Structure 1
Amino acid sequence: MNYASLGDGVRQFQQARQNLSIKTTLNTLVNELSSGEKSDKVKATNGDSSRFSAIDNRLKVLSSQAFVAKEAQLTLSAMQTALNNFDAQRGALADQLLPITPDSPDFQVTQAAAAGRSRLDGLVTTLNTKLGDDSLFAGTAFDQAALTSSDAMLADIVTQIGGATYAATILSTVDTWFDDPAGGFATLGYTGDTGAQQQKRLDGDSKIAIEARADDDGIKSVLKGAVIAALVDDIPGLDKSVKTSLLFEAGLQLQSAASDVAGIQGRLGYAEEEVERISVAQSAEQAALNIARNLIMQADPFDTASELQAVQLQLETHYAMTARLSRLSLSEYLR
């Protein structure tokens, strides 16, 4: 009878290879048990990994789109908050100016004019609100303020008024300054972008327009009213009748602008609804794809635990056999 035997070097090599193989299997099962996913994607998909790859790629796209939608939601929410503050200031100033008449006491006229200047500063500050580093009401010019300072606007308007002290002349000059497309507010007051409205693409087929800039006619109407009130203190030599007339006209201007501001808020609200609708649809698709992905890749914890236990036993047996073989000698063999 012929016997085939292995040399010690070959045996050690086989034992090391077996040891590595068992440890690799053990580590794979440990990873599957902790992650809940199978490690071998080819085996899990029965050799057809294209469907799994398509699901994974779509999930990555949806994750990116969800980030854009979240960013849009934050922007729109911040703009609505700012506009609520803007409209509250408009309403408060209108309520203070409308009761002004030629019979109002001097201190009430003085307080109303001071309120006009203070509110104008507040309105400009609100429209220059930023979310992070991005200006909210400057259109696509995210890196710059929407409006110049109220001081600069008033100084230019006072220059345009010159020495006029009649209410009609002052009101006409203010109207021209705000409505002239080639000067005044268009070139000195508003410092944002004047191109197409800002848009955000939420997915391959849907995009929303964010139609709220500081050069909107409704916002200009509010600023115009506040400017008229603020001018009462900035133009020297006005008699009381002119002052009260200007303050009352400013109140009417602010009151009539309420519907315009509401229209801007309504457009933003529609955009918010669109973002929410698309976000819900994307979340539903993500959930469905994750379920499909789990059905393909999910590792059964009970089966994995059983396999892990079997491999642990195999490793222990391997170590025991290795230890026994390492103690072999001629005397042990002959015993």
Structure 2
Amino acid sequence: MNWFGAAYYPEHWPRERWKKDVRTMGEIGINVVRIGEFSWSVVERKRGEIDFSVLDEAVDLLDSEGIKVIMGTPTCTPPPWLTKEFPEILQKDVNGLVIASGSRRHYCFNSKIYREETSRIVEAFADHFGNDPRIVAWQIDNEFGCHNSTVCFCEDCAVAFRVWLKKKYGSIDKLNKAWGTVFWSQIFNDWEEIEPPRRTLTSPNPSLVLDYKRFSSDSAIDYHNLQREIIMRKSEAPITHNLMVNFTEIDYKKLSDSIDFVSWDNYIVGDYDPDLQALNHDLMRSLKKQPFLVMEQQPGRVNWRTVNPSYESSQLSFWVKQSFAHGAFGSLIFRFR
């Protein structure tokens, strides 16, 4: 069965509106929605006080119209109480400055504390929804790499980077030779001398920078797999992550080995180019050589660019049909209402 649906956030709307929303979904032929991926502070308002009643009620209402659910894990948005309790989970930028909370994707993939907190909340989601037949898939986190969030320069990353380098090169001498550290007197004698490529007076060693980007991609994938392993123990539903073709910080081919089907978010970058969008769909199909899902389809005009072009109302229909023509098995509009 093909999927047609939308992202839906019941927590954004008054409860008395939910029934009308779901009834409208049924009337227009929606058969699947994605929920949950930004819900951490709703589900766990305070540490340890986990309450799934909002999501439970939404799933029940959706089921009343025969609508299935893709459940998102909420780790893209650690709540304010968590970042206040553990500010060390926040990323640091290339200047070594802390990236404040208050937006999204502000956590570090290599933070031991955040990985523990991730395991705890994902375990709770998987325990609660893992055997629910109305949950037809899981989305882990949301848009790895969005907002240039893959590369962090904190101390947790520095430690993890050295472990990654030891595994790759085996000896410090082999690393020195591969990186050409004899240039500018950069020869290392010990792994602890190696730091992330933070801001330097001029260009840092390009081999260090390249390896750090590869390490950062592997860190995102390892973090994904942390969640995947938890969910797989509790649920038989397939697992995915929503990719983005214009985010080049993560090795999508490697990540695709850890998802059961490819999904991606189809937003128009610059002027709409039908040939480029066709290529993007083909790229996504190529990752697993299987049909894919458009997890987020731009609905028309968006409101978050410097310039937000308007489109004819017929354009959305074209975009959805184009995705199916290139091998999609479903399309979810971002967002309902």
Q: Is the shorter-chain TM-score for this pair beyond 0.5, marking a shared fold? A: no
Which has the larger helix fraction?
Answer: 1
Greater relative CO, 1 or 2 (CA 8 Å, sep 6+): 1
TM-score range, shorter chain: under 0.3
TM-score under structure 2 length normalisation? 0.23
